[in-house]
A and B are shown apart, each in its own frame.
Chain A
Amino acid sequence: MATRKKVLLKVIILGDSSVGKTSLMNQYVNKKFTNQYKATIGADFLTKEVMVDDRIVTMQIWDTAGQERFQSLGVAFYRGADCCVLVFDVTSPGSFKSLDGWRDEFLIQASPSDPDHFPFVVLGNKVDLDNRSVSTKRAQQWCQSKNGLPYFETSAKEAVNVEQAFKTIARNALAQESDVELYNEFPDQIKLDGGSTDNRSSGSDNCAC
């Protein structure tokens, strides 16, 4: 194939309520932060086009409700995920302990073909706050125990490390997506009617079906 296929990367952010999932997404996509807390209902997403290793990819970032009672939208948002971002609040030991649960939840719902090597990225958010209670070492140890997951300490409020974290997320997601591609690669189909399929992108088509 002469042209590379356009790539859509689906990224899912999980973590306890009020750890800053929506804020991280908003900081990354819109460069905005608000101190006002509003619980996410069900799920929502934002889209951003980014360059990953000289390739333009579209990132679709899904933010899910931390509270169980708001998770009403079913499992469709897990389908086809290329990377899962686990977020905890460095001032809340409870949110750190929940990471295991969120990871399991994702693996069950999304059931990726190779769960041991599925790309997770862990973010310890709110490092701008003084009352920190989960140490960097403790977080790194946990990440190490899960096959060495990348770990970033971020502040959505002050835009610390957010860009870097999402860069890694995008790169790992792209690697995952390319892996899946390999299994799907079928040889070109042989056309018997002599018709050309190449003009599909040229903009002159027969009808809109």
Chain B
Amino acid sequence: MSFSSQIFRSPEYTSFRCNVPLKQIILDDTGTNKGWRVYDTGPRSVETPLVFLHPVSGRAEVFFKQLLTLSSKGYRVISAENPPYWSVTEWCEGFMQLLDHMDIKQVHLFGASLGGFLAQKFVEFSTIVHQPRVVSLFLCNAFTDTSIFKYKDAAVLFWILPAIVLRKMVLSNFSSRETFYDTRIMDSIDFMVELIESLSQADLASRLTINCLNSRVNTSLMRGLKGVTLMDVFDDYALGSPIKEKIYQEYPDAKLAQLKSGGNFPYLSRSDEVNLHLQIHLRKYDGTPYSASDNIPNTE
């Protein structure tokens, strides 16, 4: 398949693909599972890395700008793309296995849209079944309740729909009026569209199923979280403002990393601002046992 969008052809992306190896990590022995796709960058000595979780349409590559920048600043940053899981619990178990496999006891999580929802569910899950494993959350355009989406009644049938129909469902949310004069947002959409083409029917159907089956986050079940940053954009994107208000209410002490614009994928279209906010989010852990970097904190 040939990729032609600006981002795919950029030297930055080429450099990423040339320098960071993609790992396929297969966790079950039945052979039916095609495994997690993982990029692991930055110093391996760091025991509390930042792990990125993608949105419905994304792949592990969507965070390449964060991986490049933050790893160069001494942070261990990992982007993890899941194989098809058909329920939130299955996903949480799978992610737990992945962390065990990679020998990671505690993590900082960055979750975008569905990834943000799953990140929150994982905080709950790890609290309930094990020791709390998530040190901090950085949620980007995320939500706390799947009932905001249409199709919740149809979600049980997604597994049967052809890939082309599923792709159309995802793509219908991509562009909005405001994005048309912002080339960086347009480039980010082009990049995501090309990535969607490379997703299988099972990938799309399972993600949409998780996204639309009724489920909600219960923040009272969360333990061990030391910090939350909520990122959202003030221009149009797929989620409306009532959803934002809801997530603000759930995390009253969160730091609000708001951007004037950026569309659905600010980590691509406004990567320098997102990277700045990520550094501010992670910096307070430098020099503590929860540090995501091997930096010695800069003090007087």
Contact = CB atoms under 8 A, between A and B. Distances in A.
Interface of A: 5-8, 10, 38-39, 41-45, 47, 58, 60, 70, 72-77, 79-80, 184, 186, 188-189, 195, 197, 200-209
Interface in B253-267: 255-256, 258-260, 264-265
B173 A206 contact: yes
A70 B297 CA distance: 11
B177 interface: yes
B198 interface: no
A208 B211 CA distance: 8
A41 B77 CA distance: 22
A208 B298 contact: no
Nearest to A193: B172
A207 B149 contact: yes
Given A39-B300, A44-B280, A205 B149 contact: yes
A203 B242 CA distance: 6
B241 A205 contact: no
A207 B56 CA distance: 8
B70 to A, nearest CB: 12
B258 A60 contact: yes
Contacts of B143: 208
19 contacts: A5-B234, A6-B241, A8-B234, A41-B298, A47-B255, A60-B258, A73-B276, A188-B177, A200-B238, A201-B242, A207-B56, A208-B56, A208-B141, A208-B143, A208-B239, A209-B56, A209-B174, A209-B192, A209-B238
B240 A58 contact: no
Interface of B: 55-57, 113-114, 117, 141, 143, 148-151, 169-170, 172-174, 176-177, 180-181, 192, 208, 211-212, 234, 236, 238-243, 255-256, 258-260, 264-265, 272-273, 275-276, 279-280, 283, 297-300
Nearest to B246: A203
Contacts of A6: 234, 241
B254 to A, nearest CB: 10
Contacts of B114: 208
Contacts of B242: 201-203
A61 to B, nearest CB: 12
Contacts of A38: 300
A8 B240 contact: no
A125 to B, nearest CB: 21
A208 B240 contact: no
B283 A207 contact: no
